[in-house]
Amino acid sequence: MPRVRVECFAVSVDGYGAGPAQSLEHPMGRGAMALHDWAVATRTFRERVLGAEGGETGIDDDFVARGFYGVGAWILGRNMFGPVRGPWPDESWTGWWGDEPPFRCPVFVLTHYARAPLPMRGGTTFHFVTDGLERARTLALEAAQGRDVRIGGGVSTLRQYLRARAIDELHLAIAPLLLGAGESLFAGLDLPSLGYRCVEHVPAPRATHVILRRSEDA
């Protein structure tokens, strides 16, 4: 049965998934790009996202690779798609990833403002969903054709889907740094009451990997 998953979502030790003062120059907020050092160093990330050779193998690379396995569609919040706010001024912004994004399948972007589907090289097509979280989830599951749906973020999108108990499994990569401020993933969320349990934790040199899973009867 297809699942809705979060994979490779990096948080600081103090629970922030993005830093303060997000901008075009600092899309993750000040200091928060370092949350992803563990992933950027891996062979899978370099091949899949950067189109480059080399990179580290091992536990971190295994988690990046399994994050792409079996995924047939993605869901992104608008802030993760790009820095544009309000109505789309034009269609010049096509994401952070260049002409060939790493998704290679349908991607559903949550937004309040309509925009035509955006096909890209490599099999990615961005679809802009204006009628809410559940509609995006339904469309993504249909488009995935029996494979899983991966929710890429950002923090606000994850929090909303967690609160709705709409995420089946959540992989967090806890980076060994403190941000002190920014967007907190856990503030105000009672994950045990929402049915989530820690089912796996794996230490690695650059991050600690934690898997949370929602119980079937939650």
Q: How many CA atoms lie within 13 A of 37 on its CB side?
A: 14
Predicted confidence (pLDDT) at residue 68 exceeds the cutoff of 90: yes
Decide the pairing of beta strands 169-175 and 4-12. parallel
Number of domains within the chain: 1
Is residue 67 assigned to a domain?
Answer: yes
Q: What is the pLDDT of residue 23?
A: 72
What tokens appear for 186 in the block? 């856990």
- Does residue 90 sit in helix, strand or coil? coil
Which range among 18-32, 42-56, 161-175 shows the weakest confidence by mean pLDDT? 18-32
- For 7, 112, 151, the CA distances from 167, given in Å and listed in that order, are 11, 22, 8
Give which of 27, 13, 46 is closest to 185, Cα–Cα.
Answer: 13
All residues at 6 or more sequence positions from 79 whose CB lies less than 8 Å from its CB, including other chains: 22, 154, 156
The residue assigned the tokens 């809410």 is 132
| Torsion sign across C-alpha atoms 208, 15, 170, 4 | negative
Is residue 94 assigned to a domain?
Answer: no
Q: Domain of 189: which CATH number?
A: 3.40.430.10
Tell me the backbone φ, ψ of residue 208, rounded to 5 degrees: -110, 125
Decide the pairing of beta strands 16-18 and 183-184. antiparallel
Q: What's the rounded Cα separation, in Å, for the pair 160 and 211?
A: 18
Is residue 90 assigned to a domain?
Answer: no
Please compute the mean of the pLDDT values over residues 42-52 and round it to a whole number: 94
Cα 195 to chain center, whole Å?
21
Is residue 46 assigned to a domain?
Answer: yes
Is residue 32 assigned to a domain?
Answer: yes
The pLDDT tens digits for 191-209 are: 999 999 999 999 999 999 9
For residue 124, give its domain range.
Answer: 4-18+28-85+99-214
pTM (2 d.p.)? 0.94
Q: What is the pLDDT of residue 218?
A: 56
Q: What is the pLDDT of residue 22?
A: 75
The pLDDT tens digits for 138-152 are: 999 999 999 999 999
Q: What is the pLDDT of residue 37?
A: 96
Is residue 23 assigned to a domain?
Answer: no
Predicted confidence (pLDDT) at residue 119 exceeds the cutoff of 80: yes
Please compute the mean of the pLDDT values over residues 104-130 and round it to a whole number: 97
Is residue 93 assigned to a domain?
Answer: no
